[in-house]
């Protein structure tokens, strides 16, 4: 394989005249692309600013977990949105947009079949290929900005790491394809698709149906862990804002906006 090097120049050249990537910051090492982009956002960085890194020393996942990826092996990046057309309660629509777009782009580039696990994990063959951490800032009752941080496993082999739990639950593009995969074309395809999908969202398109159609969670018996506690039931739907509708054993339906789902057999 050719040297798999990401540079600001190469990323910019592949994204000319698009909203996504109108400003690009690429680092060999960074603490967390989400944290760095939050600082830029506070300083007034424009919508579409992209921060990416070959390695993170303090990468963060959802629910206070850390996100680890060997240097130079994966796609680790964050995007800044300033969606004046969305209320804070609708911010999850951006995560839906990005997860759907990433799944579509990876599928188109690799031929792998990519599903989503609510709320926004990317899965191949039931194993996690990527994750999304969305963080938002409000001003009064309005959304100020939203940072969508995405980690995609590209050239990492979880079977070789000696951690059976990870080998069982995580995968990568290289692992699924049986060969290393160049990151730059995959990265550009994902960013371009996010750009297209975000423009459509701004124009009023609903991505809900296509996003929901990719959710492997729907119709399944699940256990959901939230900040408030655990629920067990059947995932019966998702609403326009991305909330999970869970049918409890007593027949009641609860609406869950954030949590972690485990499929029950």
Are 233 and 218 spatial neighbours (Cβ–Cβ below 8 Å)? no
Give the dihedral sign, CA 22/86/260/119: negative
Residue labelled with tokens 């938002």: 136
Closer by beta carbon to ligand BTN, 67 or else 181: 67
The answer to the question of residue 172 lying near ligand BTN (CB under 6 A) is no
Q: How far apart are CA 199 and CA 203, in angstroms?
A: 6
Q: What are phi and psi of 224, to 5 degrees?
A: -120, 125
233 binds ligand BTN (CB under 6 A): no
CB of 63 to ligand BTN, least distance (A): 7
Q: Interface with ligand BTN includes 78 (CB under 6 A)?
A: yes
First to last CA, the chain: 41
C-alpha to C-alpha distance for 141 and 122, rounded to whole angstroms: 31
DSSP 181-218: --HHHHHHHHHHHHHHHHHHHHTT---HHHHHHTBTTT
Contact 76, 56 (CB under 8 A): yes
Binding to ligand BTN by residue 149, rule CB under 6 A?
yes
Does position 131 bind ligand BTN by CB under 6 A? yes
The DSSP secondary structure of 52-120, one letter per residue, reads EEEEESS-B-GGG-B----TTSSEEEEEEE--TTS-GGGTHHHHHHHHHHHHHHHHHHH----EEETTT
The interface with ligand BTN within residues 16-35 (CB under 6 A) comprises 32-34
Residue 133 binding ligand BTN, by CB under 6 A:
yes
Pick 17 or 227: Cβ nearer ligand BTN:
227
For the CB of residue 251, give the shortest distance to ligand BTN in the complex, in Å.
Answer: 32
- Least distance from C-beta 128 to ligand BTN, angstroms? 7
Q: Which of 39, 65, 255, 264 binds ligand BTN (CB under 6 A)?
A: 65
Residue 249 C-beta: closest distance to ligand BTN, Å: 28
Verify binding: residue 95, ligand BTN, rule CB under 6 A: no
If the CB atoms of residues 32 and 110 are measured against ligand BTN, the closer one turns out to be 32
Tell the smallest beta-carbon distance from residue 260 to ligand BTN (Å): 9
Closest C-alpha among 200, 88, 198, 85 to residue 136: 88
Q: Which is nearer to ligand BTN, 66 or 206 (CB)?
A: 66
Task: Tell me: does residue 59 bind ligand BTN (CB under 6 A).
Answer: yes
Q: Work out whether 60 is an interface residue with ligand BTN (CB under 6 A).
A: yes
Question: Closest residue to ligand BTN, Cβ-based?
Answer: 131
In the complex with ligand BTN, which residue's Cβ is closer, 63 or 213? 63
Interface stretch with ligand BTN, choices 56-64, 185-193, 204-212, 221-229 (CB under 6 A)? 56-64
Rounded Cα distance, 145 and 157, in Å: 35
Given the DSSP bridges, would you call strands 50-56 and 24-30 parallel, antiparallel or unpaired? parallel
Positions touching ligand BTN (CB under 6 A) are 32-34, 56, 59-62, 65, 67, 76-78, 121, 131-133, 149-151
């Amino acid at each position: 394989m050719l040297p798999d090097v990401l540079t600001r120049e190469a990323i910019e050249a592949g994204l000319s005249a698009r909203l996504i990537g109108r400003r690009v910051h690429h680092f060999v090492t960074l603490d967390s692309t989400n944290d760095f982009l939050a600082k830029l956002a506070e300083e007034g960085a424009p919508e579409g600013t992209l921060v990416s890194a070959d390695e993170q020393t303090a990468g963060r996942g959802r629910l206070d977990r850390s996100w680890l990826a060997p240097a130079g092996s994966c796609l680790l990046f964050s995007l800044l949105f300033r969606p004046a057309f969305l209320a804070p309660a609708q911010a999850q629509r951006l995560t839906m947009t990005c997860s759907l777009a990433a799944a579509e782009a990876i599928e188109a580039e690799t031929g792998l079949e990519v599903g989503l696990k609510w709320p926004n994990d990317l899965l191949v063959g039931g194993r996690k290929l990527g994750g999304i951490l969305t963080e938002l800032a409000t001003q009064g009752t309005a959304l100020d900005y939203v940072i969508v941080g995405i980690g995609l496993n590209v050239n990492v082999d979880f079977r070789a790491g000696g951690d059976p739990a990870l080998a069982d639950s995580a995968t990568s593009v290289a692992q699924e394809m049986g060969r290393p995969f160049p990151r730059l074309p995959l990265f550009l395809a994902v960013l371009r698709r996010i750009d297209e999908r975000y423009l459509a969202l701004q124009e009023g398109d609903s991505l809900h149906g296509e996003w929901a159609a990719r959710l492997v969670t729907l119709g399944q018996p699940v256990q959901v862990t939230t900040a408030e506690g655990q629920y067990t039931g059947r995932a019966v739907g998702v609403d326009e804002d991305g909330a999970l509708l869970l049918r409890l054993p007593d027949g009641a339906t609860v609406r869950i906006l954030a949590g972690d789902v485990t499929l029950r057999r």
